[in-house]
Structure 1
Amino acid sequence: MKKSLEKFKVRIDQNLNRSEKSIALPPDLLKIEETIGVYKQVCTTLQKKFSEGLQGFGKGTDGPSVDRRLKKTGDFILGQTLAEIGRGLLKQSSSSCLAQVLVEVGGLCNCLAQNQVNYDISVEQIIVGKLGEVLSTDLPNILAGRKQLDRYILELDTAKARLDKAKEEELHGAPGVGARIDRLVEDLDDTARKVEQTRDVLAADMLVFLARDSELAGIVAQYLEFRGNLNLDNSTQIGEMKPRLEMIRSTRRGFPIFGCALKDHISWFNLESGIAYPLQLCISKLIELGLDEEGLFRLAAGSSKVKRLRAEIDAGQATLSSLEGCDHHVLTAIIKTYLRELPSPLFGGELYQDWLETANLQGEDRFDGIWNLLQSEHLPRDNYRNIHYLFKFLHEVTRYSEKNKMTASNLAIVITPNVIWSTNDVQDVMDVGVGGVLAQVVELIILQQSWFFQNEKEIVWSEHLNPLGACSPSVNHEVVPSLMVGTTV
């Protein structure tokens, strides 16, 4: 078509060199046409960029197509992997918190993947789709109108040329030209009307398109809305998952045990006895083994055996029955290690100076000072119960001192650094002078524990000594996304 129009133009130019060519569009409409050309470039770029990041773009939005899109997303692949290895770990260890978390997070990843697919399809159908309509329908209609106008302009110029030629022939006296001139004038008027109408239609179409500027801006704004909804959905689902994960992890709260605050340890495990598990476990086993072993609390144990038992307790795997084969010195080493690693000393972090002052008292004043400190509001009741339990046991050890060689004085020397120390590092309890006077206080409590705890009920060593166990599986291990695979949009 373009070549035929060019040939037509050539013929007109050859026949009428003096004819003035008609103008298709005035300057104002030419400016509008140029602006629309820029809009076309903008829409083409937007369509390309918006579609570049869409998974499975142009592959359909029916159920099977959505499934294929979903399975290609990174979140879905990650979610399947996490859930699979989580279920594998659950088969090996049904109490594994890690396994439960992996399964839960795997399901969440599947939900995030579905959110992404829904977002992709929304952007494809609405954002890219609307831009596609502009590029495939609206702008081509304007272009077609311009081409139609160009054709009528050529016809108009041709009609003018023919009329000019007929008038020239009339001037030269050619016969019968008058009637032909009348027809040519009618053709020229008819073509001129077509040009005017086509120009008006084209101008209207271009102006209508320009009036859609806000609508086109709304397409971009809608893209941000889709992005915001995606982020909101993801954020909401992740936020809902956090308490669930915390609930799973809370079943393992309190592990590891060593280094945990006494109050937290008793509370988290809901220990009915009120006694720290490592203390009650090891003391109950020592009572079972007998207390006539020489050097209790003084002789060192094999480091590897101590390390292993500590690890078993920290993992919640140690029970009375599992301690078969543990010797006395491993058990006493665990007791000292547990006491030494408490964040605050058993005798109270705020009372160090008070214990030091009490140690410098004599006679009944020392008795009264110890009594007052044990009853002090600054000594937590959890600490008090565990002091009672521990020193009742240490008193029992002294009853076998002829065989185990551990008198109250000997026990006090090795126990004192593990139950009294300065949290401010003001004094070094290992200092001979300081350690010596504090050991006298500890020795007195060992010897007179029945007097200092006269109002307390009798201790049963292994009462309420239940295995801590591991976290029990409390969640559904099936992956159930909130939006199931294959959902159509």
Structure 2
Amino acid sequence: MLNLLKQQFASVGKNQDATDLLTEDLVLVEQRVEPAKRAAQVIHKKLAGCLQSQQGLDVEKRTKKLPLMMLSVSMAESFKDFDGESPMRKVLEMCCFMQTLLAKTLADFEVQLEKEVLEPLNKLSEEDLPEILRNKKLFAKLTTDWQTARNRSQASSGPQAKQDGLREEVEEAWRKLESIKDQYSADLYHFASKEESYATYFIRLLELQAEYHKNSLGCLEKNITELKENHNQSAPRLRNLSGQVYGVPLLSHLQNSNRQIAAPIQECVHMLLHRGLREEGLFRLAAAASVVKRLKVQLEQWKHRPQRV
């Protein structure tokens, strides 16, 4: 038996490591295991850090804890103070509804991401690949044990009983090495056969992201269009009530307010006729900016008034 072992491993030097007992294709596969473990571990950690809610929650509980849902709740509380005809209330109501939809869409995305990407990556980095690496370590140790026993047997020149004992030690070391080598080789072949499926975890990540952004964009575009239509329909009615003065063509202002003279000019002339002669420094002292701003706002909000005769 010892002669057979010597013939099989005559080319194995004293300082050669465990990989010398593997075929070239398995050596190549072996070099990918540790990088795969590191990649899965790091990406799982960073990807989990991108989640906006706690892992392990269902969609309903996750939605409630998302920042978007907190924003929706704040909007709902804010519009309660407005009257039912307020444009801001109507816009806030729609925004509140949209934030809730976006939060639900995000929660659905995170649940899928956790199930289809995070959990497989965690299993890969914490269970599957560590088992292969443990067998690799054991394979290296048993290779060293076998080489050590073989070297002692080759160097022995003592009694026959001692040589027989060393020969048995070599045989036992080889049996253990052969057993773990078979297991380790099977692990490496299994990893090689599954490596392409492991790569699809990252493709699935991109697919889920694309689907999430598409759904979010669709929700926003649909509801923003509806919001603008409703807002534009109410805006002319409000402008007609107030008689918009600034920011519109002069002709539009005159037509909408049923005037022949622009409201600011008419009011200024009216003031000059009634109070101008008693105001000291009327054309010498500039009015404060806050006063001018307040007067402009008052004119914007002024309801239709009959023209002064």
Same fold (TM over 0.5): yes
Cα distance in 2, alignment partners of residues 36 and 147 from structure 1:
13
| Aligned partner (choices 83, 91, 103) of residue 113 of structure 1 | 103
Query: 1:13-52 to 2 correspondence within 5 Å?
Result: 20=14, 23-26=17-20, 28=24, 29-52=26-49
Distance 1:96 1:22 in 2: 83
Alignment correspondent of 1:256:
239
Give the corresponding residue for 2:279: none
- Measured at CA, do residues 305 and 238 of structure 1 come closer, stay the same or move farther in structure 2, by a change above 3 Å? farther
1:186 Cα deviation (Å)? 4.2
Question: d(CA) in 2 for partners of 1:305 and 1:231?
Answer: 59
SS in 1 for 2:85: coil
User: In the TM superposition, what is the alpha-carbon distance from 1:251 to its structure 2 partner?
Assistant: 3.4
Write the deviation string for residues 140-164 of structure 1: whole angstroms up to 9, x where unpaired: 1111111221332243235325534
Q: What aligned pairs does 1:267-282 form with structure 2 within 5 A after superposition?
A: 278-279=257-258
1:153 is matched with 143
State whether residues 59 and 108 of structure 2, in contact with CA within 8 Å, keep that contact through their aligned partners in structure 1: no
Distance 1:214 1:32 in 2: 13
The alpha-carbon distance between structure 1 residues 33 and 277, as it changes in their structure 2 partners (threshold 3 A), is closer
Alignment of 1:181-192 (within 5 A): 181-182=163-164, 184-192=166-174
Equivalent position of 2:131 in the other structure:
141
Q: Distance in 2 between matches of 1:168 and 1:237?
A: 85
Q: CA deviation at 1:101?
A: 1.0
Q: CA deviation at 1:204?
A: 2.9
Letter in 1 for 2:88: L
Kept after mapping to 1: 8 A contact 2:79/2:88: yes
C-alpha separation between the residues in 2 aligned to 1:46 and 1:97? 46
Residue 200 of structure 1 corresponds to 182
Shift of 1:46: 1.7
Distance 1:305 1:247 in 2: 40
2:267 and 2:33 mapped to 1: Cα distance?
Answer: 87
Check 1:164–1:99 CA distance in 2 against 1; reply closer, same or farther (3 A cut).
Answer: same
- Looking at structure 1, the residues matched to 44 and 148 of structure 2 have their Cα atoms a distance apart, in angstroms, of 42
The residue type equivalent to 1:145 in the other structure is N
Q: What is the Cα-based RMSD across aligned positions, in Å? A: 3.7
Q: Name the CA distance, whole Å, in 2 between partners of 1:304 and 1:78.
A: 50
Per-residue deviation, residues 105-127 of structure 1 (Å, max 9, x unmatched): 11211221222232223323321
Greater helix share, 1 or 2?
2
SS at 1:94 equivalent: coil
| CA distance, structure 1, for counterparts of residue 57 and residue 37 of structure 2 | 27
Q: Is the 8 A contact 2:149 2:170 kept in 1?
A: yes
Quote the residue 1:82 is aligned against. 75
Which consecutive unaligned segments of at least 5 residues does structure 1 have?
1-18, 171-176, 266-275, 284-295, 333-489
2:50 is matched with which residue: 45, 49, 53? 53
How big is the shift at 1:223? 0.8
Contact 1:163 1:185 in 2 (8 A): yes
CA positional deviation for 1:100: 0.7
For residue 463 of structure 1, what is the aligned residue in structure 2?
A: none
Q: Does the aligned pair in 1 maintain the 2:59–2:107 contact within 8 Å?
A: no
Deviation of residue 169 (structure 1)?
0.9
Q: 1:162 to 1:242 in 2, by over 3 A?
A: same
Question: 2: CA distance between counterparts of 1:45 and 1:142?
Answer: 19
Kindly provide the CA deviation profile for residues 34-74 of structure 1, in whole angstroms up to 9, marking residues without a partner as x: 3322222322332232122112344x31478525xx4342x
Larger Rg: 1
Percent of residue pairs bearing the same amino acid type: 19
The counterpart of 2:158, out of the listed 144, 156, 169, is 169
1:131 has 2:121 as partner: yes
Tell whether 2:217 aligns with 1:227: no
Answer yes or no: is the 8 Å Cα contact 1:79–1:106 preserved in 2. yes
Q: Which residue of 1 aligns with 2:280?
A: none
Q: Is the 8 A contact 1:83 1:105 kept in 2?
A: no
8 Å Cα contact 1:123-1:223 kept in structure 2: yes
Q: What is the distance in 2 between the residues matched to 1:139 and 1:83?
A: 49
2:18 is paired with a residue of what secondary structure?
A: coil
- Contact 2:72/2:100 (CA < 8 Å) preserved in 1? yes
Amino acid in structure 2 at the alignment position of 1:66? R
SS of 1:79 mapped into structure 2: helix
**TM-score (structure 2 length as normaliser):** 0.69
Following superposition, the deviation at residue 182 of structure 1 comes to 4.4
- C-alpha separation between the residues in 2 aligned to 1:41 and 1:302? 77
Q: 1:241 to 1:305 in 2, by over 3 A?
A: farther
- Residue correspondence of structure 1 range 323-334 to structure 2 within 5 A: 329-330=307-308
| Corresponding residue SS for 1:169 | coil
**1:239-388 alignment to 2 at 5 Å?**
239-254=221-236, 255-257=238-240, 259=248, 278-279=257-258, 301-303=266-268, 311-313=301-303, 318=304, 329-330=307-308
Deviation by residue 1:297-337 (Cα, 9 ceiling, x = unmatched) = xxx85339898677434xxxx5xxxx6xx6xx43x6xxxxx
Q: 1:392 matched to which residue of 2?
A: none
- TM-score of the pair, normalised by structure 1: 0.46
The superposition leaves residues 14-46 of structure 1 with CA deviations (integer Å, 9 ceiling, x where unpaired) of: xxxxx9356422273544433322222322332
CA separation in 1, counterparts of 2:131 and 2:117?
A: 21
In 1, the alpha carbon distance for the partners of 2:130 and 2:93 equals: 53
Give the total of aligned pairs. 259
